[in-house]
Amino acid sequence: GAVVSQHPSRVICKSGTSVKIECRSLDFQATTMFWYRQFPKQSLMLMATSNEGSKATYEQGVEKDKFLINHASLTLSTLTVTSAHPEDSSFYICSGRGGTDTQYFGPGTRLTVL
Amino acid sequence: DAKTTQPPSMDCAEGRAANLPCNHSTISGNEYVYWYRQIHSQGPQYIIHGLKNNETNEMASLIITEDRKSSTLILPHATLRDTAVYYCIVRVRNQGGKLIFGQGTELSVKP
């Protein structure tokens, strides 16, 4: 299957700071990228969908000003958690979808906000 | 997108076939059945997908009933590394349909 990477894999930050997570499709062009969040012992929850060069579409209840998504190229999307607080601590997972219309997921980023 | 129903957990003996069921009784004619799995603390891994015919690849087989209201994912010879949460998801293909995850089935493969 196609490969998606995320960086960093783990990040710890202080409350009030911003954190940027990168998502890259390594061997395919992802026309659409998705960001999910997963809390312990829960399933993945879709946060937003982004198409290359367009503004992201956020799911109901997800604050677009807090979770900034940029999809500037066909291989890179970034998620910035602004003014992070302890309740934002979670496992963030991105995925990309290209020409085969199958979605491939990154390994995830564990964010801990102190 | 149609919802799916899966048993919350299953056990399987190592080396035996693991048969994971999924009900999707409200599936529409243009919705595909997708299977992903998530090993602890990793991102989901794509397994297989199908519309109405049975499908097989190097990881698994997908059996879809004739009325398409249910399906079964078969891991022919389960290993300990197959221990994971398995998600059955239905979505429209090639029309921007999103993958919405339910609770999945937690498969434990035991020695």
Dist. CA B44–CA B50, nearest whole Å:
18
A31 in contact with B at a CB cutoff of 8 Å? no
Digit-coded pLDDT (tens) for A87-103: 999 999 999 998 888 99
Helix (H, G, I), strand (E, B) or coil at B81: helix
Cβ <8 Å between B44 and A44: yes
Dist. CA B107–CA B18, nearest whole Å:
9
B43 in contact with A at a CB cutoff of 8 Å? yes
Residues of B in contact with A95 (CB under 8 A): 43-44, 99
pLDDT for residue A100 = 84
pLDDT for residue A94 = 97
Q: What is the mean pLDDT of residues A70-98?
A: 95
HSE of A22, CA atoms in CB hemisphere, 13 A: 10
Digit-coded pLDDT (tens) for B29-84: 989 999 999 999 999 999 999 999 899 999 999 999 999 999 999 999 999 999 99
User: C-alpha dihedral over B79, B84, B85, B87, to 10 degrees?
Assistant: -60
Cβ <8 Å between B41 and A108: yes
**From the list B41, B49, B103, which residue is nearest A43 (CB)?**
B103
**From the list A36, A95, A102, which residue is nearest B49 (CB)?**
A102
Region of poorest pLDDT, from A3-12, A47-56, A105-114, B11-20: A47-56
Cβ <8 Å between B102 and A105: no
How far B67 CA lies from chain A's nearest CA (Å)?
24
* Cβ–Cβ under 8 Å, residues A11 and A90: no
Q: Check residue A6 and give left, alpha or beta (phi > 0: left; psi -120 to 50: alpha).
A: beta
